[in-house]
């Protein structure tokens, strides 16, 4: 059972939050059990924290490399998961499996039905074992004296069905079902001393109150059950309402084994030694199994807690509420079943008896009522409706005969504590399908393992022409044997010929020619090196040599295979291979290569840095590779380390390529209006650390790319740019790690027929010293963001404000105005009216008829005046192509005017006061909720007080108006100018405390944040797949959409965004974007199984939308099974074209089974017709 020993106390609240080093005994002082246990816990904590720091991978099961410890295999037919034997480590705990076993045969069996596809989860906790459970712990020489117990890291494996379909080891720990299962209990409990009652005898002292017994005891309150409010794979979670608690005054330490069961009478061992600490009528006995702590479902399957009717020294008779209740628990005589003693909670005003539901939670309140435990003690639960508990949660409190208790005194919110135990940990073992297993364990090499590493020589080719005899390859074959970073001298490396058969070639071992397999010793630098000559009698074969490490560790490190071949001479003859070594002039080598031929380039292990611009141009196929992170290409200047242009194909893998932070010079503070003219950013082509342009086929895999940060967005880690006229044919970006600099983008792909971006990790990295706070907040881009946050919206205050949605249109006709809903933009309607004015009498009927005529004129594609209108009508006609001519015209009219036309009196402009002569500007004034300057009054949406703006305009350092603003637009421009100056001038902010406080809270840069994670765009997109990526610390996670400046409406053809884990982090609170995931202008769209949430260090960042689908949308749109947090509206689906209701049957637009946290049901999904909504939460 979880720690329940008869201890003096289990916890000692200490003033210093740091971990103590050791228990220090002193002569002549008392040594308690608490001290000995504390010393063991201190030592264990030190060892376990050290193990975790060394091994890493918190929350994962770490196993020695090459072992079967807790490895899951499928055995038999039908296949049954089997758990391998061995030791493993979970957050520093050593977890042991002494024998291979099936799920139903493990120490704590799982006997339920195994799902066809599920994750296998390891649950571990610390369990107490005493001589009642293991009689070998008791020494017969001590007779009836009780012996000490032991603690054990116990475990159990069981299945979990992830919330996301096709989850894998990399996504499981961010899955909703996993997070709900591992979330610690959040409900709290407090022990409270009762106050002493007032004395009624004037000659007696007032009682002091508090604990009243004359014994020093350790109270324990434990969760027994309750009303399930949240199911998980590891048993339900309970709320405060209906929670069932158990009480023991001796830490529930009295437990006896079951030797016989006769109905309600249970014979037990060992017999009673002390009648004062024994089962007694009126108290409670719990039937417990050795499996209960690790299998909550088993413990909750039937009621196990019974009141005691009578007892003897070796038997206990229980009160059965119904006949057979004891037998229903499954209790049998044997080593796995026990009885445990619990005390009764005294009946009081709340009627809270042990085992009875504590229906003491006031609906809508935060706390339970006070529960009287007797003995001058009470308890109270807190946490509100969101509080969660699990079976077995417990609290202990040491109480002493002097009336004191080991619990803080204060308000309930201050002293209430989350459960003290049990300490539980979880780790994923494997993802299991019907015939497949994905291993989620983390292998760990030992510190002294030797490793065989590649150092160069693979993939060479030599010309075949004029070859007479063996042909020597230009580069030697090199491997190294290392122990960590230390070369191993004298290690034996075995070289073997693998093929082709009969053409073995020749190896040159320092002048000794060998044509047979042999062993070679490594030098003092750990290297084994030799030259290789291949046989031209096998011109079309692949020649191969294998190097392997000999010795005890040989089986733990894989061999290295070298390949070579011949190629024919000629302009396009075969593939030329170039091996680039550390220390060489590698940039000059790359520039020398003829890229009109097919080329393979291999970078050896080492650092390759340059301050030059490296751009490669050619028409061939180029393949570039290296030794993973061991090969580092570093561009010290510029945005791109390597640029490829015009190739037939580019394949990059196993390289680390970096650019560094290169911030632009900060913009100096401005003191007049001209500052506002510098707000707009210079638009430039975004280059990546790797930039690939005008290339038909691109494959970038298993790379590490780092792009430097900047004060504004302008670069990426990876840019792949096609051409709208000749788009890229195939782009694959797989399994890469992208370390994205401050404010920059991760992956940018434009103009491609088929794009796959999958299984990549994109992480926003921290800022270097070059990008300090001062440099950032003085940049133009940062000042622009601050200015827009301060000047959110400006409205003329001298006109009546009409609040309309995005699709409301207004046309003016003399003293009348017509209002209607249309997806055609307002500017297009105004153009139509200007070109086709109403003639004749202006009556409401005539105006309504004229608006309809404008709509019909707009439907005529040939006479449509503007590119926007031509795109709109062309797409509408395409959608209604299946209808007759008359029905098509009516459908198009319905798309332009889906509702009626309301004609009424024009909203009159209020008279303005007389204008002052220019040059006689008056002061800025605040009149109620308006800002007034001269004759212009506005309503301003701003996060600071209007009086702060008044003070800014009065500050001579900012601005001196020499004339009134002409209108609200002019006024807004001046406000933006002042805001820009304030954002870039530290001394100005220092003089305005309120604004300085707002700036400090909202505009201070975060340590790490990037802009867009994955972007697919341009003018041409065919099929796009964005799957199973982890995106951490970006302002926006995924952005997919096409656009063009010509008249033609362009849409992506088939887009899938699925299984991505997106953790959003804006650079500051003033940086905004509409959504965490965006898709626009798409024919066929699937957005499924994505997680969108805030990063942990951006707790207050709220997005307008979680997922936003916008633009011209095709017949198929599915948004399903997503989990969304940190958005005011979870999902927004909006077509800029209204779909006629006659065509609804041709469309499948669906938003289903999405979970949106923190919103009302009405804000879970906002979607245009004909979207169907199903099973979204909240609903």
What's the confidence (pLDDT) of residue 929? 78
Those residues whose C-beta lies under 8 Å from the C-beta of residue 44, and which sit 6 or more positions away, are: none
462 and 368 part of one domain: no
Residue 527 reports pLDDT greater than 90: yes
| Separation CA 855–CA 984 (nearest Å) | 49
- Quote the tokens at residue 928: 């109620």
Question: Confidence band (pLDDT; 50, 70, 90) for 861?
Answer: very low
Tell which residue, 487, 560, 485, 562, has the closest CA to residue 527.
487
Q: How far apart are CA 328 and CA 436, in angstroms?
A: 39
Helices 968-984 and 780-790, packing angle to 10 deg: 130
User: What local confidence, expressed as pLDDT, does residue 274 receive?
Assistant: 81
Residues 901 and 928 in one domain: no
Predicted pLDDT of residue 556: 59
Structure tokens at 336: 């796995």
- Name the strand (E) or helix (H) holding 1034: strand 1030-1041
- Domain co-membership, 918 together with 855: no
- For residues 1038 and 466, the model is more confident at 1038
Domain match, 352 and 491 both = no
Is 122 a member of any domain? yes
* 637 CA to centre of own chain: 33
Are 1029 and 758 in contact by the 8 Å Cβ rule? The answer is yes
b/e per residue 743-763 (b: at least 16 CB within 10 A): bbbbbbbbbbbbbbbbbbbbb
- How would residue 993 be classed by pLDDT, with cut points 50, 70 and 90? confident
How many domains is the chain partitioned into structurally?
5
Instruction: Say if 42 falls within a structural domain.
Output: yes
Q: What percent of the chain has pLDDT over 70?
A: 86
- Band (pLDDT 50/70/90 cuts) for residue 1025 is very high
Instruction: Give 165-210 pLDDT, tens digit per residue.
Output: 888 998 899 898 999 999 999 999 999 988 765 555 666 554 556 7
What single-letter DSSP state applies at residue 909? P
**Could you tell me which residue, 643 or 870, shows the higher pLDDT?**
643
Cβ 1012 vs Cβ 1034: under 8 Å: yes
Alpha carbons 886 and 924: distance in angstroms, whole number: 59
pLDDT at 195: 76
* pLDDT on residue 876: 62
Contact 228, 238 (CB under 8 A): yes
* pTM: predicted TM-score of the whole model, two decimal places: 0.49
Mean pLDDT rounded to a whole number for the chain: 82
Residues 6+ apart with CB under 8 A from 999: 786, 982, 983, 989
Q: Are residues 469 and 326 in the same domain?
A: no
When pLDDT is averaged across residues 644-656 and rounded to a whole number, the result is 95
Q: How confident is the model at residue 673 (pLDDT cuts 50, 70, 90)?
A: very low
Which residue in the block uniquely carries the two structure tokens 């073992």?
429
In a domain, 1043, yes or no: no
- pLDDT band of residue 93 (cuts 50, 70, 90) is very high
Q: Residue 875 — pLDDT band, cuts 50, 70, 90?
A: low
- Does position 716 have pLDDT exceeding 90, yes or no? yes
Q: Using CB atoms within 10 A of its CB, is residue 1117 exposed (0-12), middle (13-18) or buried (19+)?
A: buried
**Which of the residue ranges 322-326, 934-938, 1050-1054 would you say has the lowest mean pLDDT?**
934-938
Whether the per-residue pLDDT at 511 is higher than 90: the answer is no
Does pLDDT of 1177 surpass 60?
A: yes
Q: Is 653 helix (H, G, I), strand (E, B) or coil?
A: strand
Ramachandran category for residue 875: left, alpha or beta (phi over 0 → left; psi -120 to 50 → alpha) = alpha
CB 323 within 8 A of CB 297: no
Residues 6+ apart with CB under 8 A from 845: none
685, 732 Cβ separation under 8 angstroms: no
pLDDT-based confidence at residue 1067 (cuts at 50, 70, 90) = confident
- Rounded to an integer, the average pLDDT of 18-42 is 83
In a domain? residue 1118 = no
Whether the pLDDT of residue 22 is over 90: the answer is no
- Residue 388 and residue 315 in one domain: yes
| Contact of 142 with 95, CB cutoff 8 Å | no
What does the pLDDT read at residue 198? Answer: 53
pLDDT tens for each residue of 592-614: 788 888 888 988 889 999 888 89
| Average pLDDT score over residue span 31-59 | 86
Tell me the pLDDT tens digit for each residue of 912-960.
333 333 333 446 788 777 888 877 888 888 888 888 888 877 776 665 5
**How many Cα atoms sit within 13 Å of 884 on the Cβ side?**
2
Beta strand pairing call for 1075-1088 and 1061-1064:
unpaired
| Mean pLDDT along residues 61-67 | 88
Which range is most confident: 28-32, 418-422, 945-949? 418-422
Q: What radius of gyration do the chain's Cα atoms show?
A: 38
Which pLDDT does position 694 carry in this prediction?
95
Residue 12 has pLDDT above 70, yes or no: yes
Distances (CA, A) of 223 to 419, 700, 738: 10, 54, 46
Q: Where are the beta strands (DSSP E) in 896-976?
A: 902-905, 924-927, 930-933, 936-941
Given this model, what pLDDT does residue 388 score? Answer: 92
The CA-atom distances, in angstroms, between 1038 and each of 122, 170, 972, 1076 are: 33, 19, 33, 7
Q: What was the pLDDT predicted at 985?
A: 80
pLDDT of 407-417, one tens digit each?
A: 888 888 788 99
CATH number for the domain including 487?
2.60.40.2030
CA 1111 to CA 1119: how far, in whole Å? Answer: 15
Q: Is residue 361 part of a domain?
A: yes
Residues 6+ apart with CB under 8 A from 59: 91, 173, 425, 426, 427
Structure-model confidence comparison of residues 576 and 603, the more confident one? 603
Distance CA 1179, CA 1172 (A): 13
Using 50, 70 and 90 to split pLDDT, how confident is the model at 426? Answer: very high
Three-state DSSP at 840 gives coil
Give the E-state strand segments of 53-147 in sequence order: 61-64, 72-75, 80-83, 86-90, 93-97, 101-102, 118-129
Distance CA 844, CA 495 (A): 95
CA 208 to chain centre: 53
- Specify whether 814 is located in the same domain as 932: no
Q: Which of 108-117, 234-243, 688-697, 987-996 has the lowest mean pLDDT?
A: 987-996
In a domain, 217, yes or no: yes
* Domain shared by 179 and 306, yes or no: no
For 158, the enclosing helix (H) or strand (E) is strand 150-160
Report pLDDT digits (tens) over 392-404.
Answer: 999 999 999 888 8
pLDDT at 919: 35
- Give the end of a domain, one of 1002, 1025, 1049: 1002
Give domain status of residue 648, yes or no: no
Residue 550 lies inside a defined structural domain of this protein: yes
377 in Cβ contact with 191 (< 8 Å): yes
Query: What is the spatial distance between Cα 494 and Cα 517, in angstroms, rounded to a whole number?
Result: 7
User: 464 and 568 in contact (C-beta within 8 Å)?
Assistant: yes
Residue 713 and residue 1152: Cα distance in Å, rounded?
35
Higher pLDDT, 972 or 156: 156
pLDDT at 357: 34
Tokens of 394: 């417990």
Specify the pLDDT at position 121.
Answer: 95
Residues 369-387: tens digit of each pLDDT? 888 888 889 898 988 888 9
**C-alpha dihedral, 330 to 333 to 338 to 342, nearest 10°:** 70
pLDDT, one tens digit per residue, over 467-485 is 778 888 877 898 999 988 8
- 200 vs 203, 212, 774, CA distance in Å? 9, 19, 70
The contacts of residue 1064 (CB under 8 Å, 6+ apart) are 1033, 1034, 1035, 1036, 1037, 1076, 1092, 1093, 1094, 1095, 1098, 1101, 1103, 1126
**786: which 2 tokens?**
């601050």
Give the pLDDT of residue 734: 96
Tokens 């000995």 appear where? 36
Q: How far is CA 704 from CA 672, 1007, 1008, 1063, in A?
A: 46, 21, 18, 20
901 shares a domain with 845: yes
Residue 447, pLDDT score: 78
Residues above pLDDT 90, as percent of the chain: 36
Angle (CA) 888-893-898 rounded to 5° is 125
Tokens 């997106």 sit at which residue? 1062
Domain boundary among 878, 905, 932: 905
Question: Are 812 and 793 in the same domain?
Answer: no
Cβ–Cβ contacts within 10 Å for residue 1043, how many?
13
Q: How many CB atoms lie within 10 A of CB 913?
A: 10
Which residue's entry shows tokens 């440099």? 775
On whether both 117 and 254 belong to a single domain, the answer is: no
Last residue of a domain, one of 852, 884, 905: 905
Comparison of pLDDT for 970 and 122, the residue scoring more: 122
Q: Which domain holds residue 350?
A: 189-196+209-425
Q: Average pLDDT in the 729-742 region? A: 95
Rounded to whole angstroms, the Cα distance separating 1064 from 1099 reads 10
- pLDDT at residue 1123, as a whole number: 96
Q: Are residues 170 and 244 in the same domain?
A: no
Integer distance in angstroms from the first to the last C-alpha of the chain? Answer: 42
Q: Would you state the structure tokens that stand for residue 528, as one six-digit string?
A: 């084994």
**pLDDT value at position 886?**
66
| Phi (first) and psi of residue 608, to 5 degrees | -130, 100
């Amino acid at each position: 059972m979880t720690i329940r020993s008869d201890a003096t106390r289990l916890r000692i609240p200490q003033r210093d939050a740091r971990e103590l080093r050791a228990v220090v005994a002193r002569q002549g002082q008392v040594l308690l059990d608490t001290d000995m246990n504390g010393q063991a816990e201190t030592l264990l904590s030190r060892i376990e924290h050290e193990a975790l720091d060394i091994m890493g991978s918190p929350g994962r099961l770490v196993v020695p490399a090459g072992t079967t410890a807790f490895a899951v295999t499928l055995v038999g037919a039908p296949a049954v998961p089997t758990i391998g034997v061995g030791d493993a480590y979970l957050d520093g705990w050593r977890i042991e499996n002494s024998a291979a076993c099936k799920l139903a045969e493990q120490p704590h069996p799982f006997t339920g039905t195994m799902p066809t596809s599920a994750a296998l989860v390891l649950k571990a906790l610390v369990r107490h074992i005493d001589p009642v459970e293991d009689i070998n712990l008791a020494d017969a020489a001590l007779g009836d004296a009780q012996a000490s117990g032991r603690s054990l890291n116990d475990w159990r494996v069981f299945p979990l069905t992830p919330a996301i379909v096709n989850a894998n080891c990399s996504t499981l720990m961010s899955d909703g079902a996993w997070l709900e299962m591992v979330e610690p209990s959040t409900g709290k409990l407090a022990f409270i001393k009762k106050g002493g009652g007032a004395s009624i005898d004037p000659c007696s002292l007032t009682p002091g109150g508090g604990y009243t017994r004359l014994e020093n005891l350790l109270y324990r309150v434990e969760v027994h059950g309750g009303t399930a409010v949240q199911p998980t794979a590891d048993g339900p979670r309970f709320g405060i309402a209906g929670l069932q608690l158990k009480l023991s005054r001796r830490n529930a330490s009295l437990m006896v084994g079951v030797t016989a069961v006769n109905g309600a009478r249970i014979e037990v061992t060992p017999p009673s030694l002390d009648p004062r600490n024994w089962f007694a009528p009126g108290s409670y006995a719990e039937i417990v199994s050795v499996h209960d702590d690790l299998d909550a479902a088993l413990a909750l399957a039937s009621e196990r807690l019974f009141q005691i009717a009578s007892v003897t020294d070796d038997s206990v008779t229980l009160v059965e509420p119904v006949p057979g209740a004891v037998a229903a628990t499954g209790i049998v005589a044997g080593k796995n079943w026990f009885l445990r003693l619990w005390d009764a909670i005294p009946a009081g005003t709340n009627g809270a008896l042990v085992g009875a539901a504590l229906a003491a939670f006031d609906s809508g309140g935060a706390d339970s009522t006070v529960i009287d435990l007797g003995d001058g003690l009470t308890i109270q639960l807190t946490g509100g409706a969101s509080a969660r508990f699990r079976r077995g949660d417990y609290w202990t409190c040491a109480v002493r005969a002097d009336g004191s208790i080991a619990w803080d005194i204060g308000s309930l919110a201050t002293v209430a504590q989350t459960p003290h135990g049990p300490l539980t940990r979880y780790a994923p073992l494997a993802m299991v399908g019907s015939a497949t297993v994905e291993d989620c364990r983390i292998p760990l090499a030992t510190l002294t393992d030797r490793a065989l590493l590649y150092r160069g020589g693979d993939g060479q080719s030599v010309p075949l022409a004029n070859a007479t005899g063996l042909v020597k390859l230009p580069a030697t074959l090199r491997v190294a044997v290392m122990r960590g970073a230390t070369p191993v001298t004298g290690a034996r490396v075995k070289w073997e010929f693998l093929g082709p058969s009969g053409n073995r070639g020749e190896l040159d071992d320092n002048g000794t020619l060998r044509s047979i397999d042999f062993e070679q010793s490594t030098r003092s630098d750990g290297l084994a090196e030799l030259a290789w000559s291949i046989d031209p009698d096998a011109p079309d074969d692949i020649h191969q040599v294998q190097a392997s490490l000999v010795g005890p560790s040989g089986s733990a490190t894989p061999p290295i295979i070298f390949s070579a071949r011949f190629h024919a001479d000629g302009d396009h003859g075969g593939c030329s291979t170039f091996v680039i070594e550390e220390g060489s002039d590698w940039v000059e080598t790359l520039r020398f290569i003829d890229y009109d031929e097919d080329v393979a380039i291999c970078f050896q292990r080492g650092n390759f840095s340059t301050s030059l611009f490296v751009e490669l141009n050619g028409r061939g196929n180029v393949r570039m590779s290296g030794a993973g992170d061991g090969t580092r290409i570093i561009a010290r200047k510029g945005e791109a380390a390597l640029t490829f242009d015009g190739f037939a194909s580019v394949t990059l893998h196993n390289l680390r390529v970096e650019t560094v932070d290169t911030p632009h010079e900060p913009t100096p503070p401005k003191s007049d209006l001209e500052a506002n003219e510098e707000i707009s950013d210079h638009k430039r082509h975004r280059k990546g650390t790797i930039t690939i342009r005008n290339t038909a086929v691109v494959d970038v895999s298993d790379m590490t790319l780092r792009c430097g940060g900047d004060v504004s967005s302008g670069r990426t880690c990876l840019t792949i740019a096609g051409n709208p006229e000749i788009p890229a044919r195939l782009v694959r970006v797989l399994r890469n790690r992208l370390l994205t600099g401050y404010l920059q983008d991760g992956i940018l792909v434009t103009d491609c027929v088929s794009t796959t971006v999958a299984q990549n990790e994109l992480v926003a990295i921290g800022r270097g010293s070059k990008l300090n706070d001062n440099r950032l907040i003085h940049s133009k881009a940062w000042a622009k963001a601050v200015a827009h946050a301060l000047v959110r919206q400006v409205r003329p205050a001298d006109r009546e404000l009409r609040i309309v949605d995005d699709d409301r249109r207004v046309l003016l006709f003399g003293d009348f105005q017509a209002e209607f809903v249309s997806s055609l933009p307002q500017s297009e309607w105004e153009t139509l009216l200007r070109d086709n004015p109403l003639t004749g009498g202006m009556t409401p009927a005539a105006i309504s008829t004229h608006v309809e005529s404008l709509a019909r004129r707009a439907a005529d594609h040939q006479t449509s005046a503007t590119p926007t209108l031509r795109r709109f009508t062309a797409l509408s006609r395409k959608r209604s192509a299946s209808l007759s001519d008359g029905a098509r015209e009516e459908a198009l009219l319905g798309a332009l005017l889906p509702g009626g036309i309301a004609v009424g009196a024009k909203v009159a402009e209020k008279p303005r006061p007389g204008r002052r002569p220019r040059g006689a500007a008056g002061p800025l004034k605040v009149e109620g909720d308006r800002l007034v300057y001269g004759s212009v009054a506005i309503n301003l949406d701003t996060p600071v007080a209007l009086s702060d703006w008044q003070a800014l305009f009065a500050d001579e350092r900012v601005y001196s108006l020499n004339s009134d603003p002409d209108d609200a637009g002019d006024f807004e421009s001046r406000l933006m100018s002042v805001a820009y100056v304030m954002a870039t001038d530290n001394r100005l902010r220092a003089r305005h405390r309120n604004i300085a406080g707002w700036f400090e809270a909202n505009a201070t840069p975060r340590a790490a944040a990037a802009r867009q994670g994955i972007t697919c765009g341009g003018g041409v997109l065919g099929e796009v797949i964005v799957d199973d990526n982890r995106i951490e610390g970006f302002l926006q996670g995924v952005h997919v959409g096409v656009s063009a400046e010509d008249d033609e409406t362009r849409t992506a053809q088939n887009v899938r965004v699925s299984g991505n884990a997106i953790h959003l982090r804006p650079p500051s609170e003033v940086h905004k974007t509409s959504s965490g995931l965006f898709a626009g202008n798409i024919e066929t769209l699937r957005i499924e199984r994505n997680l969108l949430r805030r990063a942990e260090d951006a707790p207050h960042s709220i997005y307008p939308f979680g997922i936003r689908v916008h633009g011209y949308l095709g017949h198929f749109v599915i948004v399903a099974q997503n989990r969304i947090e940190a958005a005011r509206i979870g999902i927004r689906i909006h077509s800029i074209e209204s779909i006629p209701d006659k065509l609804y049957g041709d469309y499948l637009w669906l938003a289903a089974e999405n979970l949106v946290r923190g919103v009302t049901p009405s804000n879970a999904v906002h979607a245009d017709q004909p979207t169907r909504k199903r099973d979204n939460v909240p609903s």
